[in-house]
Structure 1
Amino acid sequence: MSEQNSQTTNANKIRIITQVLTKALKLWLRTQVSQISELEVEIKASDRQLFSGRIPLVSIFASHAVYQGLLITKIQLIAENIRINIGSVLKGKPLRLLETVQVGGNLIVDEKDLNASLSSDLLSTALSDLLVKVLPTHYPQSQPINWQEILIGNNQIILRGLRVTNSETTPLEICLGLQLLSGHELQVAQIQINHEQGNILEDNHEYNLDLGSDVDIEELTLIPGKLVCRGRINVNP
C-alpha cells in the first residue's frame, strides 16, 4: 500500500471514529435530559488522543433543554480532559466517563422558562428548602407553599405562591435579594414577605448558601426577565 493510500485509510478511520464518538456523546447528553430542542457537539482531538479514548476538548451548545423538569433556555459548554471507554463505544455500547470532567460554560434561563419549570420537583424543592433555611420560624416544612410565579429583577427574585395552613390558603409574595458571594456561595439578603393584609416580615440579615465544592460560579447576573450564569462544575462518572 502506498504512503498516500495509507494516509487516506487512516484519515477515513479517524473520521469514522469522530462520527461514532459525536453520535455517542449526543446520545449520552440526551439521556441526561428529558427534552432538548437543539444540540450541537464538536470534538477537538488528535488522532492519537482519539484512539486512546482521551479528548482534550468538547464544545456543546443546546437550547430549550429540560433537566429534571427545569427548562434551560440556552446553554453553551466546554468540557476539557475527557477520558471515555473508547473500546466499548466503538463496539456500539453506551459512552461512559472514566474520570471526573471539569465543564465550564454559560447558561441562560428566561423568566418564562423558569415559570414553566415551577411544577418540577427540582425547582419547587429548592425554593422550599431555601425558605426553610433562611426563615425556619415563618416557613416550617410542615406548611408547604404552592408556587405560582417567579419574577426576575435586578439582583432580585420575587416569588408568588399560596401558603397552605390547615384548611386555609393564603397568597404570599416573597422578595429576595440574591448575589454571588464566592465561587460556591450565594448570598440571600433584603428579604421581604407580603400577603393580602400587608407586609408581614422585613429581614435585613444576610444568609449564605453553600453550593458545594464541585461548583465554581464566576458570574451570576439577575436582570429583568432573565438569569445569566457563567462558571464551572465537576461532572462525576
Structure 2
Amino acid sequence: MPEQNFQTTHTNKIRIITQVLTTALKLWLRAQVSQISDLEVEIKASDRQILSGRIPSVSIFATDAVYQGLLITKIQLIAENIRINIGSVLKGKPLRLLETVPVVGDLIVDEKDLNASLSSNLLSTALSDLLVKVLPRDCPKSQPINWQEIILDNNQIILRGMRVTNSETTPLEICLSLQLLSGHELQLAHIKIKSDQGDILEDNDEHNLDLGSDVDIQELTLIPGKLVCRGRINVNP
C-alpha cells in the first residue's frame, strides 16, 4: 500500500508539472501573437524528460492567429528537441527557450485574411520591397503605395494599389508568378506592371528572394484564394 501511495503521489506530481508546463507554453505562444482564436498544445515527453527541461516534441495547432498584423488562417506545427528553463517555470516565471528550436509544419493563409493584413507593417513593407526590386531602373521607387487588394491564383499573384505622388494617385497593378526555387529561395517571374496610362513593365527575367538560412520550405502552393506552405523554420531564443 505505501508503494502504491508513493506511485500515486509521484504520478500526480508529474501530472501537475505537465499541466503547469502546458499552461506556460500556451502563455508563451500567445505572447508571440496579438490575437489567436483557437490554440491546442500537446506535449510528448517522459516524466524524466519533463523534469530535466528537455522536451522531445510539442504539437501545436492554432487558427486565426495574428502575427505582427498578419492574419494566419490555420497553422499546425511540431517543435522538436526543446530545452526550456523548467526550474523557473515551476516557480511561476515565464517560459524561456534555452536553445534554438527547429519547428516543422503547415501554414494556410486565405486570400481574405491576406487582404485584411494589407495595413500591417510586415506585409506592406514586404510588398514595397518587392516593388523596388522589380521596377525598372528609370522608374521612381520612393513613391509610397497604398496597397488595396491581393488576388491569389494558380501559382500567380496579382497586387493592386495606388501610387501616391504630390499631386495625384495613380492605380497600379502588378502580376507575377511565384515558385519555390530552393528551401530558402523564392523565384519571381513573368512580371507585368501596368497603370491606367499603360504598361510600365513586362519582364521575362527571373528575380530570386533569399529568405535566410533559418528557413527551409518544402512546399509552397498558390491556388485560387489560398496560399499553402509546408516547411521548417528555426525559432531562436
TM-score (ref. length: structure 1) = 0.97
Q: Which residue of 1 aligns with 2:96?
A: 96
CA contact (8 A) 2:135 2:141 kept: no
CA deviation after TM superposition for structure 1 residue 138, in Å? 5.8
Q: Distance in 2 between matches of 1:141 and 1:9?
A: 67
Greater mean deviation of Cα atoms: 155-164 or 188-197: 188-197
Percent identical residues: 85
Q: Which residue of 2 aligns with 1:61?
A: 61
Residues 94-133 of structure 1: CA distance to partner in whole angstroms, max 9, x if unpaired? Answer: 0000000000000000000000000000000000011112
CA deviation after TM superposition for structure 1 residue 200, in Å? 2.4
Runs of at least 4 residues off by over 3 Å: 138-141
CA deviation after TM superposition for structure 1 residue 165, in Å? 2.2
Residues 129-158 of structure 1: CA distance to partner in whole angstroms, max 9, x if unpaired? Answer: 111123262654421111000000000000
SS state of the match for residue 56, structure 1?
strand
Q: Point out where structure 2 has 5 or more consecutive residues left out of the alignment.
A: none
Q: Distance in 1 between matches of 2:20 and 2:163?
A: 51
Amino acid at match of 1:179: Q
Q: Which residue of 1 aligns with 2:132?
A: 132
TM-score (ref. length: structure 2) = 0.97
Q: Point out where structure 1 has 5 or more consecutive residues left out of the alignment.
A: none
Q: 1:171 aligned to 2:171?
A: yes
Alignment of 1:165-204 (within 5 A): 165-204=165-204
Q: Which residue of 2 aligns with 1:159?
A: 159
CA contact (8 A) 2:136 2:201 kept: no
Q: Which residue of 2 aligns with 1:85?
A: 85
How has the CA–CA distance of structure 1 residues 84 and 139 changed in structure 2, closer, same or farther, with 3 Å as cutoff?
Answer: farther
Q: Which residue of 1 aligns with 2:38?
A: 38
Greater mean deviation of Cα atoms: 164-173 or 150-159: 164-173
CA contact (8 A) 2:135 2:201 kept: no
